[in-house]
Structure 1
């Protein structure tokens, strides 16, 4: 029978970003080779990448911070199932001015905005400065951030999210330059593929779409249907082909 409750939140996604399990494992393997003792995940959500890293680095403990209590609870559930509950903590708190560093590995994937309240276009420099203060000497930062493949025109921006602006993102080369200016060297630069984006965008909507198909007359259906249709149009008619995701593995230069 059709469900009567609201749809689950993002349960069809392993990662809250366009990130394949194969790429995630490559990233984790590189980070684990540094034998970290302490891992910090800023804007962790349910901590999918954090938990993979703790699996690969058995001597490490980790902390994930986020403001979404539902996602944090999901992270605790997953950690318990995987036998990692005694090595990880999920905390509901802001990343702005966090005192959780220094950490040997700092993960910040799609969460640069969580490190400061500086608006675009200076938000990225502020994020890199904050990360520079959170990573231990000789440590690693994994920074995932959107960038423009091509700067969209005003007409193209109008088909994206509300109030979308060209300064919301920079190009890939400028993104890397900002990391270097903040005192990092880029060890690895990689970007999401079309397949990863399609997997992410479809998974992002899948739980809601399945629920809507089963519950067309539910009191919440009209609002959820409008929201899902708007998001799909924003992707397919808006930022698809313009916005991409970079995964930068960074090492700090010198000591702090």
Structure 2
């Protein structure tokens, strides 16, 4: 497949999640990464965060992407930016295992982080802590339940990962041995803008490419994502957490 819903949607976004690039850069500045430090951006998507790690903070960055179609977009963006970023296409757990201890890991909306299916927050954090040098930082971002979801919504949303609320994410991080340095749940307007931009990009592509071989698959995913986010709006948010090992 030459394209997919994710590639189309994420090509239109600055960050591939319900958070702004400015918020990401501001919290990374809190971590004060030293130029030349080693970093990994897990689930790099369109590589925006990986590129900023390299160009704004002077880090030695490995961008990890499981989806080869998305990796194609990441590769194009890295080359266009002239960023010194090493792109690895493969599973996060295996790619991280091949790297030396890291000073910083960024993981925003990453699925199957430890290679064992649907990890709990505690298991995911515990795995990532093993890949960090002492005193290293993890910038974690993921879905947050802002209200108790109906069981069908939880079942659909948690097809790849298990989620929790803001308090639960912090407790899971501390249980894994992290110190919670900073956290924020994105304003719902930011999450809404992310959802609208992704859906708009997909609808525009479908209108321009109705006979493309990928059109049916893109349509199906776009409809499913839109339905989940519209139904789930009172329950779903996006949390950003800066954690120190």
| TM-score with structure 2 setting the length | 0.85
- Aligned equivalents of 1:220 and 1:93: distance in 2? 23
Shift of 1:83: 2.2
| 1:151-193 Cα distance to aligned partner (Å, 9 max, x none) | 1233xx35x774758x932121111011001111000011111
- Aligned equivalents of 1:202 and 1:189: distance in 2? 24
Segment of structure 1 superposing worse, 43-52 or 92-101: 92-101
Shift of 1:217: 6.5
- The correspondence of residues 51-200 of structure 1 with structure 2, limited to 5 A, is 51-58=51-58, 60-84=59-83, 87-97=84-94, 98-111=97-110, 113-119=112-118, 123-154=120-151, 157-158=152-153, 162=156, 168-200=162-194
Shift of 1:222: 5.5
| 1:121-178 Cα distance to aligned partner (Å, 9 max, x none) | x521111111111111121110112221111233xx35x774758x932121111011
- Tell me the secondary structure at the aligned position of residue 112 of structure 2: helix
Which residue of 2 is the match for residue 48 of structure 1?
48
- The correspondence of residues 29-48 of structure 1 with structure 2, limited to 5 A, is 29-35=29-35, 37-48=37-48
Shift of 1:214: 3.7
Shift of 1:95: 1.5
Larger Rg: 1 or 2?
A: 1
- Tell me the secondary structure at the aligned position of residue 138 of structure 2: strand
Shift of 1:39: 0.6
- Aligned equivalents of 2:124 and 2:4: distance in 1? 35
- Aligned equivalents of 1:6 and 1:183: distance in 2? 38
Shift of 1:72: 2.0
| TM-score with structure 1 setting the length | 0.81
Which residue of 2 is the match for residue 249 of structure 1?
242
| 1:22-44 Cα distance to aligned partner (Å, 9 max, x none) | 21221232234544511111222
Q: Gaps spanning 5+ residues in structure 1: where?
A: none
| 1:86-110 Cα distance to aligned partner (Å, 9 max, x none) | x210011211252324111111111
Alpha-carbon spacing, 1:187–1:161, altered in 2? closer, same or farther (3 Å)? same
**Number of residues of Structure 1 aligned to a counterpart in Structure 2:** 238
Alpha-carbon spacing, 1:124–1:118, altered in 2? closer, same or farther (3 Å)? farther
